[in-house]
Amino acid sequence: QVQLVESGGGLVQAGGSLRLSCAASGRTFSRYAVGWFRQDPGKEREFVASTRWSGGSVYFLDYADSVKGRFTISRDNAKNAVYLQMSSLKPEDTAVYYCAADLDSSRLRTMPNYWGRGTQVIVSS
């Protein structure tokens, strides 16, 4: 069982930055694929970024086209945490951001087993 808790959301002006954190429980967290998703009211939840173990100490990172070059996902397995550094924020980045995890990386984008409750990000123009 994995529990995920997001934090770091808030109100920021366009062009600003925020760093979201996802704190996880679980002794084998380093093997989990972890992703960030977001959802704005009236819209479908969308993938933002992910990190998945690819062997040894190597992790594969993936990003949605809409955030490439602006967002960076990272993880600190010693702290059981995954971060999303968001820069050059735009009003269209406004959404509730969710952290999700699954031991099976193939499930992460479609039906991950574990979800956090989300943290709100509002970007004002």
* Percent of the chain topping pLDDT 90: 88
Q: What would the pLDDT profile of 47-96 be if each residue is shown by its tens digit?
A: 999 999 988 888 999 999 999 999 999 999 999 999 999 999 999 999 99
Backbone angles phi, psi at 33, to 5 degrees: -80, 135
Tell me the C-alpha to C-alpha distance, in Å, between residue 108 and each of 3, 112, 124.
15, 5, 30
Question: Contact at 8 Å (CB) between 52 and 16?
Answer: no
* pLDDT grade for 107, boundaries at 50, 70 and 90: very high
CA distance 122 to 109: 24
Residue 63 pairs in a beta bridge with 49
More confidently predicted of 22 and 57: 22
Q: In b/e form, how buried is each residue of 36-75, taking b as 16+ CB within 10 angstroms?
A: bbbeeeeeeeebbbbbbbeeeeebeebbeeebeeebebeb
Report the mean per-residue pLDDT for the chain: 95
Alpha carbon distance 46, 54 (integer Å) = 23
Check whether 15 has a pLDDT greater than 80: yes
Q: What is the number of H-type helices and E-type strands within the chain?
A: 0, 11
* Tokens, residue 75: 């993880």
* Confidence at residue 120, expressed as pLDDT on a 0 to 100 scale: 98
The pLDDT of 1-23, averaged and rounded, is: 96
d(CA 82, CA 50): 10
Residue 26 has pLDDT above 80, yes or no: no
